[in-house]
Amino acid sequence: MEQEQLRNHLDHIGQNLHEICKEIAEVLILVHPANSHIPATTNSTPLPVTNETPAPAIDEKGRISSRQLAMLRKLCNEKLDGNWNAFDASCKARFSKALNYLSTKEASTLISELIGGESHGYKSRSAR
């Protein structure tokens, strides 16, 4: 009984951690937009320029990096009407694992396909 309770607690923690990671990815997208090299049109005080530390090419155990996950979320919002649950389900069907457990190579393939316009079963806005 104690093992089952512990397993339930750990599952709950894992689910909450997953949600936190998704929220952080969304914040990163908002803070570091893809077109950050385009000057702002408002009369705001410029921020000091800092060199960003590049993310490692391979995350722990070769799993998807936070930047890849953030990019997939952004592309899902842009190309797939933001239907993250359907996108995650189709990735589970294709790779037999959830998005958070993809390898960096699998995530890179998905990103390339979404940027290149290949849908591989995902409904895009242009297909509607």
* DSSP, residue by residue, 57-115: SS-GGGBPPHHHHHHHHHHHHHHSTT-HHHHHHHHHHHHSS-GGG-BHHHHHHHHHHHH
Q: Write down the pTM of the prediction.
A: 0.47
CA distances from residue 45 to 9, 32, 39, 42, 52 in whole angstroms, order as listed: 46, 17, 12, 9, 20
With cut-offs at 50, 70 and 90, classify the pLDDT of residue 3. confident
Q: How confident is the model over 31-64, as pLDDT tens digits? A: 776 544 555 455 556 666 655 555 544 445 688 8
Contact between 69 and 21 under an 8 Å Cβ cutoff? The reply is: yes
Q: State the pLDDT confidence band at 5, using cuts at 50, 70 and 90.
A: confident
Tens digits of per-residue pLDDT, 61-98? 688 888 999 999 898 888 888 888 888 898 899 999 88
pLDDT recorded at residue 34: 59
Q: Are the C-beta atoms of residues 122 and 90 closer than 8 Å to each other?
A: yes
Angle between helices 2-31 and 66-79 (to 10 degrees): 70
Confidence tier at 14 by pLDDT (50, 70, 90): confident
Q: Name 34's Cβ contacts closer than 8 Å, sequence gap at least 6.
A: 74
